[in-house]
Structure formats: C-alpha cells, structure tokens
Chains A and B, each alone.
Chain A
Amino acid sequence: MTVQTPAVPRSNWLFNLARIRELGLSVFIIVLIAAVGLRTPNFLSVNNIQLILLNISILAIVALAQTMVIISKGIDLSVASMIGLVAMMVSSFVKVHPTIPMFSAVLLGLALGAVLGMGNSLIITYGKVPPIIATLGTLSIYRGLVFFYSSGTWINSYELPESFKMVSKGTPLVLPNMVLIAIVVAVIVYYFLNYTRTGRDIYAVGGNHEAAKVSGIRTQRIIFMVYILTGIAAGLAGVLWASRYESAQTNTALGFELETVAAAVVGGVSISGGIGRVPGVLLGALLLGIIENALTIVGISPFWQLAAQGFLILIAVISDNLIQRRAQRTIKI
C-alpha cells in the first residue's frame, strides 16, 4: 500500500537531535555546571554536591508525582498543603509517641497522604470539578486544617525524637537516606510509567481522553489513582520535610506547589497532557537545585538570587517549549 509523505519532508539532524527531549536540558545543566565550577571550584566538592542532592530530594519526589497528574491532563495545587498537614500530624504523633518504630511513622505519613489525595480524587472524578479548581479548594482546606489541628502552634526540634530526625539524615550508604528514598521513588515511578499498563494508561488518558475511553481504558479509575499517588508522595514528602528541618510549622512548604509544577514543566512535561518523562523531570528538579546553589556560591546578592532563579525558570520554560514545538509538526485531530 502506498503511504503518503508530506510534500516536503523535513529531515534535519538538528531537529532530530532536539527531539531527544532531555538533551537541551542536559546541555544547559552541563554548561551551567562547567561555568560555575570553573569560577568557584568549591561548587564541585563532594559536600556541595551532596547538599544539592539533599536540597532537591523532596522536590524531585513531589515533582514526579505532579508529573503523573500533569500527564493525565490535570494539576494538583494542593500538594504543598498536604505536605504541611502530614508533616504536622506525623510530628505531633511522634512527639506524643516517641518510642514507636520510625518506619511506622513513615507509613502513617503515606496513609494520611493517600486519604488526602483521595479527597482530591473524589471531588475531581465524581464531582466533575476541574482539577485546577478542586485542588485550589483543597489547597485552602488542607492548609486551614493545619492551623486548626495545631491551633497555630509549632512543633520544634527539641520535641522530636532523634530517631525521627534520622529518617531523612541517616547515611547507611554513602548518601543520606532522603536522597536514597528519592532515587528509589524515581526508579519506581520510571518503571511504573514505562513498564506497566496502568502507567501507559495515564499517557493515553492525558493524550486523548475520549480515545482512551473507547479503547477500553477505565479513565475515571486512572484519574482517581493519580491523585491518590500524588497524595502518597506528598505524605512521604511531609514526613521527610519534618524530619529534615526538625520542625513542623503551620506554613511548612507554603508555596511549594508551584515549585513542583515548575520542576515538571522545566523538565519538559506538557501542561496540556500526554507528554512527560521521568529523566526530564529529574533534570528539571536538578536544574532548579543547581541554580539555587550556584547563585549562592557565585556570590550573587542573596536578594537578587530569587530574581535570577525566576528568570532562569522563565527562560528554561520558554526555550524548552519552543524547541518542542519546532521539533514537532502538529497535526489536527
């Protein structure tokens, strides 16, 4: 059978190269590392690298979950509030019961996160509320619950048992626990998204919801699931957050939701659904971490750091989207 070809085939090695989604980002990161490393060799010290990894671990975990939601053509703005609430509840629990084994504290965090995520799922799938609105609502609700739960008080470092603090900081192998956990999460998410049907179904649902339905995919179930998974990731992040910063405050992780979206988008996840890869998101989180760290090390006034960071995020987002668009001819379906 003859197969039609477009009138003018477009084959350009540059385009093909740009099609490897993570390439642009990797080059950007390498150039950044080289530039900063040459100026301040301290940047490449083992300690500093470890610090960067430690700083981005929580971001990476939540951004990966956020990625799954965005691939399904949704968004979860409530992650930061879930982190705050879980951090507060778990810290309070270990404060009162300091002798429980710490893995059960982690499990508690995961379970609480799952229920909070399920709240989003219910509103979105059964209530047919657009995800951005639903999670905007639960953002306020869950944050309000943090205040209600604690009556505005904080849990401080001295109130938390040492073993709880070690959940994130222990270094059984070369790297701190928290980094190891992030790596494990990344591997699991990678396997899930690439080697399981359910994982692929997320792409299908986000890419073409109607088509997914007629292909026999239970779309509602998939959407229900991704918000629960995000809740679980936020629960894990909440425990790690409280453990790392040795406190639970009413404003823990405030504003973190947009950072997770930024990491995903910088990592090449398309906000219109159906596109996104784990390596890209990890690089996105890494880039955000490196920028933050490099700006300090290079000695930019701490007050302009945020601006520079914001500017680089803006540039990364725009250039990435542009490359993506040049590399793909869009079709009209």
Chain B
Amino acid sequence: MSEYILELKNITKRFSGVEVLHQVSFTLRSGEVHALLGENGAGKSTLIKVVSGVHQPDSGEIFVDGKQVRFSDALDAREAGIAAIYQELSLFPDLDVAENIFVGRQPTTLGGRIDWHKLYSESEKLLSSLGVHLDLKKKARNLSIAQQQMVEIARAFSINARILIMDEPTSSLTLNEVADLFRLVRRLREEGTAIIFISHRIEELFELADRVTVLRDGSYIDTRPLIKVSRDDLIRMMVGRTISNLYPKQAGQPGETVLKVESLCRPGEFENVSFELRKGEILGMAGLIGAGRTEVARAIFGVEPVSSGTIQVRGQKEAISSPEKAIRLGIAYVPEDRQIHGIIPPMNLVANISLPLLKEYAVAGWLNGKVERSTSLLAAQQMEVRANNILQKARELSGGNQQKVLLAKWLATKPSILILDEPTRGIDVGTKAAVHSLMNKLAMEGMAILMISSELPEILGMSDRILVMREGRVTALLSRQEASQEKILHFATQTINTGNVI
C-alpha cells in the first residue's frame, strides 16, 4: 500500500496547443482535506477534471492506491471511487431533484428495471442527512441557485466516494448552510474519505483544510500544511509577488443624484427596490448569488421590463423599454458573465468594441470601416488592451484582456451612469488592480458607478455606499464608515421576518 490514496506525477495538459497544466504533481492521503489554491486560470479546475476523468492528461501519471490508472471518462474515475462537485452547476434542468442526485446510477431491481421507490426513499434519506428539505419531485429548473448547489452536493455524497472533489461548493450558500456543509465534510474526513477542496475564500481553508497546494499559471508552486502558513504567504504564492494596495480608494465628492430608482418590482425576482445613485460615487451592491442584484441591473438597463416602479435619470422620469433607449440615456452596463452576455469570442476586437455605436459609423446603414476601426483602436488603446492587432479575435485574449475590451466597448459610449456587474470576476490580480484604479478615475471625473460584486473585500474597498440585497429585497444601505464584512453578511443572509429590515 502506498502512503497516498491518490498521487499525480508531472501532469501536463494542453487545450488547442496552449499548455494549461505544466508538470503538476499532487498527493492526497485518506482522511485529509487537501485545499487547492490558485487564481482563476491557474489550472485548478482543469487539474480536478483530470482527476475525475473528464479530461485526459497529455503526459504524466496518475496513481490510485499506488497503482497506475488511466481514466478514459468520468465513469472510469467513478468506478475507482472518485466523485466531484464542479464549479459550473451541472444539473439537468428538466429532471427532478431525486433523479438529478442519482443520474446515471439509478438504483435498479435485479431485472435492471429502475426502482423509483428506492430512488425517492434514498434521496429523501440523503437530503435529510444533509439537513436539507426539498420537494423531491421538483424540476431542477425551478430550484434556487443555493438549492441547486445542495443537490449537487447530495449527488457527490451519494456516491460514497473514497476521494471527493469539491470545486467552490460554498459560493452561493448562506453562512448557516456553509457551517452545515463543513460539519459534513469533517465527518467524512473522520470516516477516512480524502477530500480535495477548492475555495477562493482563504479563511474557509484555514478553518477546514489540513494541507494546501498552490498552483500558478498552470504550474505547481508548493504544498504546505496549513498550520505552517499565513494568509499573506498564501497570497504571495498564488500571485507570485506581494500586492500592496488592491483597493486604491480615494474618497470623491458625490454630486447630485443622476439615477433614482423607486419601488422597482418584478414578481419572483425582486420587490420594492429603491435607491439613488449620485454623480461621482461608487455604489456597491452586495448580496448572495441569486439575491436579485443582476435582475435589478438588467431592469434598469431595459433588458427585461419591470412590473411596477419608476426610474428617474437626471431628474427625468424615463420608461426604459430597451437597452437601445438606456444607451441613449447615457447608461452603460458591463454584464456579469463575460462569455454569455459580454464579448463575442469568435468576432474581432473592432466588431466587439464598435457594436453599441455601430450606427454612428454608418451613413444610411453603409458602414464606414475606417472610422469604425480607428475609433475602436483608440478605445482599446485607452484601456491598454494587450493584443497583437485590432483584428484579433476576442477569444484569443485572456479573461483580463477580454474584460478590458468590454470596458473599452462601453466607455466608448461615453456613459454618465456605469453599471458594473462583477467587474473583476475571473481576472488576474494585475488587471484587477487596473480595473479598480480605472473605476476610481472615472468616479473622480464625475461618472456615477453602480458596482455589483460578490467579493466582500472589493465591495468594502471600492464603494462609497453599500446596498445589500437578499431574496429580491434591499435589506440595508450602509455608508463606507459603518460597513464591515460581518454587517454585510448579516444583512445578506438574515431571514427577513427575524431581522430588522433597514
């Protein structure tokens, strides 16, 4: 028997010629929680997908119990006792809760007939052991994000795996739910399960993990016991340098109100949302995933209609029926999911940047390519986009540069109100700092910025005022001085009937 239940040696993986993992090694003992740490794009998700058989390494070896293995798909890995919860939710929207838990391995009778009774009773047992109560016959499509995450967790637990991989399992859970989850993870550890745990909340790792392995740019950096490292050590290992000032906040002088939202409502998504946004300020919007922040932003931008409530722009009541109208009113919205709502990966930078203003580069519909290119070039240069040339496809750029392209696109419309939805999710620390100082600069120049973020340090570091939302309602409006991590979390997770609403 080997000391390790799982051992990876010199794993290398390429995607379309680009090396994503470079000679990465990793070990896992039974009965330990081993944290995997790294920035977005460092290769964590790829590494765990190699372990769980979804990706096959281009070179390197995998040992389970000291024996070399080769997984050609996820089923092979599962048969070796490996289960995983992935970062992207991987539920089946039209199957019910119970079947989602057991998909691909529904309990069967001797004749191979699916035993639906057993499937429901097992699911019931499993969910109650997790302390969750869900309608087992509800379609996954109709669950909240947190409920979906619980179903994913239940699915991974149901496998009775010897090696359990958890990729950001806590990203949309409330504090109580996280505590329950950790209790379960500790119980599994005592039973001898080996757990690979990924989280971007470093505090969580200190609470839960035994050892930590750090990856950077697809390379292995180091493995250490958590009792022997500090938070700062970990950040240095992740980033490769010390970050002095992530949040270069300068207090501005907020001017008059440019955007006033009153009792905005859309049943099922948000209710009675009111706030004001002033010239030259950054208003942070905090809350859990699924709290309705993005929905409010989309309503202000005219993507989806509201059922009641009013929006005033510069004192003028406006019915914003389409993004076209919003853009004309000087509103810009940089959406949360770059890949889905932001950039168009297969199109070039010019086409990406010029899109909202395309009509201005045309005479009677006929495009003037020269003007379009030179304006887009200027916008890209101002944002310091790194690319070989302006006709490069957007998909060839890194996440950080894509975000810069997106900002260039929207800043070119010269907005007076800028809505940023998770402006730094999934980009490297360097670009992050650049985006933050840009936000500062824009606010100083008088732009009104509404920033939605799920990263509390970012919210606390960048906002002049902080709006907290929970389950579609505004639960607090905090000034920069009174805000703290605990307070925000309290208002973001409290149940409404017990807490003090505003």
B427 at the interface (CB under 8 A from A): no
Contact of B142 among A194, A213, A331 (CB under 8 A): A331
Closest chain B residue to A215, Cβ basis: B104
User: Is A317 in the interface zone, CB < 8 Å from B?
Assistant: no
B143 lies within 8 A of chain A by Cβ: yes
Residues of B within 8 A of A200 (CB): 95, 99, 103, 106, 114
B434 interfacial by beta-carbon distance below 8 Å: no
Consensus secondary structure, chain A interface: loop
CB <8 Å contact, B114 and A333:
no
Report whether over half of chain B's contact residues are helix, strand or loop; otherwise say mixed: loop
Q: Which of B126-171 contact A (CB under 8 A)?
A: 130-134, 139-144, 146-148, 150, 155
The answer to whether A214 touches B139 (Cβ under 8 A) is: no
How far apart are the CA atoms of A179 and B93 in the complex, in Å?
35
The answer to whether B73 and A6 have CB atoms under 8 Å apart is no
A3 in contact with B268 given A197-B106, A274-B94 (CB within 8 Å): no
The one of B73, B92, B112, B174 in contact with A208, judged by C-beta atoms closer than 8 angstroms, is: B92
Q: Are A4 and B114 in contact (CB under 8 A)?
A: no
Q: A188 CB to closest chain B CB, in angstroms?
A: 13
For window 192-247 of A, CB contacts with B under 8 Å fall at 194-197, 200-201, 203-204, 207-208, 210-218
Q: Among the listed stretches B82-90, B398-406, B407-415, which one makes contact with chain A, having 4 or more residues with CB under 8 Å of it?
A: B82-90
CA gap between A1 and B177 in the complex, in Å: 6
A331 touches B143 (CB 8 A): yes
Say whether B74 contacts A213, CB under 8 Å: yes
- Report the minimal beta-carbon distance from A45 to chain B, rounded to whole angstroms: 40
Is A14 among interface residues, defined by CB-CB distance under 8 A?
no
CB of A133 to closest CB in B, whole Å: 19
B267 touches A3 (CB 8 A): no
Q: Are B93 and A4 in contact (CB under 8 A)?
A: no
A42 to chain B, nearest CB (A): 42
Return the CB mask of B60-82 against A: 1 if under 8 Å, else 0: 00000000000001110110000
Query: Which A residues are in CB contact (< 8 Å) with B105?
Result: 197, 216
State whether B142 touches A7 (Cβ < 8 A): no
Q: B78: which of A1, A2, A212, A216 is its contact (CB, 8 Å)? A: A216
Q: Is B222 an interface residue (CB 8 A)?
A: no
Complex interface: chain A residues within 8 A of B114 (CB): 194-197, 200
Contacts of B150 in A (CB 8 A): 1, 3
- Answer whether residue B7 sits at the interface, using C-beta atoms and an 8 A cutoff: no
Q: Is the CB of A328 within 8 A of B142?
A: yes
Max chain B C-beta neighbours (<10 A), residue from A1, A210, A329, A331: A1
**B54 interfacial contact with A, CB 8 Å:** yes
Tell me whether A128 is interfacial, beta carbon within 8 Å. Answer: no
- Once bound together, how far apart are the Cα atoms of A2 and B177, in whole Å? 7
Name the residue in A2, A3, A7 with the highest tally of chain B Cβ atoms < 10 Å from its Cβ.
A7
Could you pull out 7 A-B pairs where Cβ atoms are within 8 angstroms? A1-B130, A4-B144, A8-B472, A200-B106, A204-B104, A211-B90, A270-B94
- Which 9 pairs of residues, A with B, have the shortest CB-CB distance? A211-B90, A7-B472, A216-B75, A207-B92, A216-B74, A274-B94, A1-B131, A4-B144, A8-B267
Known pairs A4-B147, A194-B114, A211-B90. 11 more at Cβ < 8 A?
A1-B176, A7-B471, A7-B473, A10-B268, A195-B114, A207-B94, A208-B93, A214-B74, A217-B74, A275-B94, A328-B142
